Structure 1
Amino acid sequence: MSPSPAVLARIRLNPHHRAVQRDIHDADQMHKTLMRMVPDHLGDHARQQTGLLYRLDTDDDGHTLLVQAAHPLNTAGLPHGYGNADTRELAPMFQALHDGLGVRYRIVVNPIKRERLSLDRKNERGRTLPLSGPDADQWWQRRATASGLQLHTLTPHTIAPARSRTAKPGMRHSLIRYDGTATITDTHALTNAVLTGIGRGKSYGAGLLSLAPAPTP
């Protein structure tokens, strides 16, 4: 049985729509658009309450937006003509997960670390620093292990984050997409990671983990 009535909407975006052209370059506007798919009047932490996560995938044919939530998603709340949406429940996927299962994965993450300060500044909070290269790979390895995945392969793709007018001063986002294969080592931890997302930057399209059965040799 699924631990949550989670759903996933796959939206093939209309590249000619003005709202789409705006949203893919503006994280604040994208967030506002997607929140039109969840119930109103949820307060200041509506994204957390609904468990809303999203990821923008880009290929030669255009952009596909994946939107996941722990509540039903109302795709009719999107601007008219925004894209073609297909929504499905995630219960069958959760039911298929088990320890030892080989999977293919995809995730966009925001790898960061906290700046270390000298002892004379011990009462200050260090800056949040983005990670890249091997440091980012190691960050993802650690997070994947804690989330119940033993990674076999990982392929990084650096993504330019959309701008945001509401980001805190000095905050920088470094978005990296990882694709690869893995084996499930802890189904409970993995289920929780899928539902809650991994890492920071969830309002910027980071954290949504997609899984599919790995091809058998």
Structure 2
Amino acid sequence: MNDDPVIARIRLNPHSREVQRDLCDATEMHRTMMRLVPDGLGESPRSQTGLLYRVDETDTTSTLLVQANRLDPARLPTGYGQADIKSLSPMFTALRKGLAVRYRIVLNPAKRERLPLEAKGKRGRIVPLSGADADQWWLRRAADSGLHVHVLAPTNMQPVLSRRQDADGMRHSLIRYDGTATVTDPDALHEAVLAGIGRGKPYGAGLLSLAPAPVA
């Protein structure tokens, strides 16, 4: 498979029934996204292809960003939207220590609940984080990913809804972060962009977008 990652920007058609369905049901959106990557990949095709996606919405438009090693937008449902594809290689080439960047990411900040000692051998529930706890979670993950964050502007998103309840009953709460940062470790940042950050990747979380930031 071609290892050169690409990103597709798909301007969604608000009149498409499939678009309306997917925006209301995370399971259906994930199923549609998986149509864009090759068939016959066996187990964990999303991980194998590095598929990540995010929906960016304004008052008037919805845009879907999809990233993977290989994408074929022609496999989208007819009338779903108009797609433009570009390689991420130029962005990776430009990454260097000290580079100022703007970023956007939708995250599912969460932690595993601590259980009492008598519950040894059992695992606690995954608990969504919010407010200052979520902000600190992102700052730690950003640092681990080669970014020193200067500004973070959180926006609470609608919780991810699905007709199928997860096995652990977890509700996927999403927060979008926008801001500026400085690259501290280009290699770690490269890996974070490719792999995504945090949980909830099948539900539209984890895709980190970067762009050069003007330096004051």
Q: TM-score, normalised by structure 1?
A: 0.96
SS in 1 for 2:24: coil
Unaligned runs of 5+ in 1: none
Contact 2:160 2:174 in 1 (8 A): no
Corresponding residue of 1:161? 159
State the 1:161 CA deviation: 2.8
Partner Cα separation in structure 2 for residue 36 and residue 113 of structure 1 = 31
Report how many residues are paired. 214
Aligned amino acid, residue 134 of structure 2: A
Contact 2:125 2:168 in 1 (8 A): no
Q: 154-163 or 108-117, which moves further after superposition?
A: 154-163
SS in 2 for 1:43: coil
Percent of residue pairs identical: 64
State the 1:172 CA deviation: 2.0
Partner Cα separation in structure 1 for residue 91 and residue 111 of structure 2 = 32
Partner Cα separation in structure 1 for residue 183 and residue 126 of structure 2 = 31
The 5 Å alignment of 1:75-90 reads: 75-90=73-88
State the 1:123 CA deviation: 2.0
Contact 2:160 2:172 in 1 (8 A): no
SS in 1 for 2:44: helix
Aligned amino acid, residue 120 of structure 1: E
Corresponding residue of 1:55? 54
Partner Cα separation in structure 1 for residue 98 and residue 197 of structure 2 = 21
Aligned amino acid, residue 212 of structure 1: A
Aligned amino acid, residue 105 of structure 1: Y
C-alpha RMSD of the superposition: 1.2
Runs of 4 or more consecutive aligned structure 1 residues displaced over 2 Å after TM superposition: none
Aligned amino acid, residue 169 of structure 1: D
State the 1:167 CA deviation: 1.8
Corresponding residue of 1:194? 193
Contact 1:161 1:204 in 2 (8 A): no
Structure 1 residues 140-182: Cα deviation after superposition (integer angstroms, max 9, x where no partner): 0000000000000000011113312152232121110000000
Corresponding residue of 2:17? 18
Contact 2:103 2:211 in 1 (8 A): yes
Contact 1:5 1:91 in 2 (8 A): yes
Partner Cα separation in structure 2 for residue 62 and residue 161 of structure 1 = 19
Aligned amino acid, residue 206 of structure 2: G
Partner Cα separation in structure 2 for residue 95 and residue 185 of structure 1 = 15
Aligned amino acid, residue 56 of structure 1: V
Q: TM-score, normalised by structure 2?
A: 0.96
The 5 Å alignment of 1:111-126 reads: 111-126=109-124
The 5 Å alignment of 1:1-217 reads: 4-70=3-69, 72-164=70-162, 165-217=164-216
State the 1:4 CA deviation: 4.2
Aligned amino acid, residue 29 of structure 1: E
